[in-house]
A = this chain, B = another copy of it.
Amino acid sequence: MQQTRISLAHGNGGRLMRELIEELFARHLANPELNLQADAAPLPLGGGELLFTTDGFIVQPLEFPGGDIGSLAIHGTCNDLAVAGAKPEYLALNVFLEEGMAIEQLERLMGSLARTARECEVSVVAGDTKVLPHGEGSGLYLATTGIGIRLPGPPLGMNRIRPGDHLVVSGPVGDHGTAVMLAREQFGLRGDLRSDAASVLPLTRAALAFEGLRFMRDPTRGGLATVCHEIGRETGLDIRLQETRIPVRDPVNAVCEILGYDPLFLACEGRVVAVVAPEQSETLLRRWRSLPQGEEAAIIGEMVTGKGRLLLQTKLGGERLLDELEEDPLPRIC
C-alpha cells in the first residue's frame, strides 16, 4: 500500500478500499475459506450447506426516506446471503452506541430493525452492545453477521461467467444513495425519493430456478459500476453496458447532475445484478418483472472477450471507459 494513513476513500468500495483489503487484511488472514470475491463464505459444517457473511453500517443520517440504519442492517446482511444463493436464517447484532444518544430514537431504530427481521424471517439470536464516549460514534453504528442455508440452484461464482453472458439488473439504480444524500441537510436539496432498501430474496429465489444463472450480487457500496469492475477484474472479460438500458429514475439523474455524481456508482440496497447465459436472459427478465421487486428490471449489458474493462455505450452512440472509484463520492450511505 502506498498510503501511510487511512482516508475516507478506504471505505468507499473503490480502488483504495480494495487494496486495503487485498494487501493488508487478506495478507494477514489468508485461509482456504476466505474468498474476497464472495458475498458469503461457505462453511463445511452440517453438510456444507451453510453460508456466513457480515456487514457494518455507519449511515448518516440514521433515518432517511424509505429506511433507517436498523432496517438497513437487516437487509444488507440478508441480501448478501441471498445473492450467494442462500436463505438467511440467523443473525448476530453488534451495537456501538454513543453516550448521550436519545433512548427514544434507539427504541425507534431497534423497532425498525426487529420489524425488518420479522419480514425477512430471520432471528437475531446473539448480540453485544458497547457504549462510546460522547463525540465518537455519530449516535449509532451497527454490524450484523448472518448465517444462511444454501437453496437449491445452479453453482454460482464469477468463475462461471462466460463471454456472451448477459447482465440483468432488477430495478433502477442509485435510489438509496440519492435518498440518503437528500436526507442530509448539508446539501440544501429536497425531493421525494425513497431508498430502495428491501429484501432481494424473492428475486434471488426466482433467479435460482435458471440453470444458466452464473452469478448474482447486490450493488451496494460503490454501486453498479463497482460490481462490474469486480466482475471484470476477476474474469478478465470486458463488460459492455448500454447506458440507455440502465434504469435510473429522473430525480436520481437530476440530483446527480447538480452534485456531480454518477448514479452508476451510487449504492442500491434492494437491487440485484445477475449474470446469466444469453439464451435465458429474456426469460429471467420476464420472471423478475412479474415480481413487485422487479417490475423495472432490465437487460443492461453483456460480457465480451477483452481485458477486464468496463465500457459504457453512451446515449450518443460512443463508448466510454468507466474507471474504478478512487475518490469518495458519498461516504456513509450504507
Could you tell me which A residues sit within 8 Å of B by CB distance?
A: 1, 3-12, 17, 20-21, 24-25, 28-29, 31-34, 40-41, 43, 45-47, 49-50, 52-58, 89-90, 92-104, 106-107, 110-111, 113-114, 117, 123-133, 135-138, 141, 143, 145, 147, 149, 331-332
Contacts and interface: CB of A to CB of B under 8 A. Distances in A.
Contacts of A3: 103
A145 B54 contact: yes
Contacts of A147: 43, 45, 52, 147
Contact of A29 (B31, B47, B100, B124): B124
A41 B125 contact: yes
A43 to B, nearest CB: 6
Given A25-B95, A31-B125, 12 more contacts: A7-B99, A11-B131, A21-B129, A41-B90, A41-B126, A45-B147, A55-B128, A56-B128, A92-B145, A94-B143, A131-B331, A136-B138
Contact of A143 (B8, B132, B143): B143
A299 to B, nearest CB: 30
Contacts of A43: 89-90, 125, 147
A46 B47 CA distance: 7
Contacts of A24: 103, 106-107, 110
Contacts of A29: 93, 110, 113-114, 117, 124, 127
A131 B54 contact: no
A303 to B, nearest CB: 27
A145 B126 CA distance: 9
Consensus secondary structure, chain A interface: mixed
A334 to B, nearest CB: 9
Contacts of A99: 6-8
A1 B106 CA distance: 12
A20 B129 CA distance: 9
B129 A56 contact: yes
Nearest to A102: B5
Contacts of A25: 95, 110, 127, 129
A111 B100 CA distance: 34
Contacts of A143: 56, 94, 128, 143, 145
Of A29, A96, A147, most B-chain CB atoms within 10 Å:
A29
Contacts of A100: 5-7
Contact of A4 (B52, B104, B130): B104
B125 A93 contact: no
B103 A141 contact: no
A94 to B, nearest CB: 4
Nearest to A60: B133
Contacts of A32: 123
A123 B33 contact: yes
Contacts of A17: 129
Nearest to A70: B28
Contact of A53 (B21, B55, B92, B129): B92
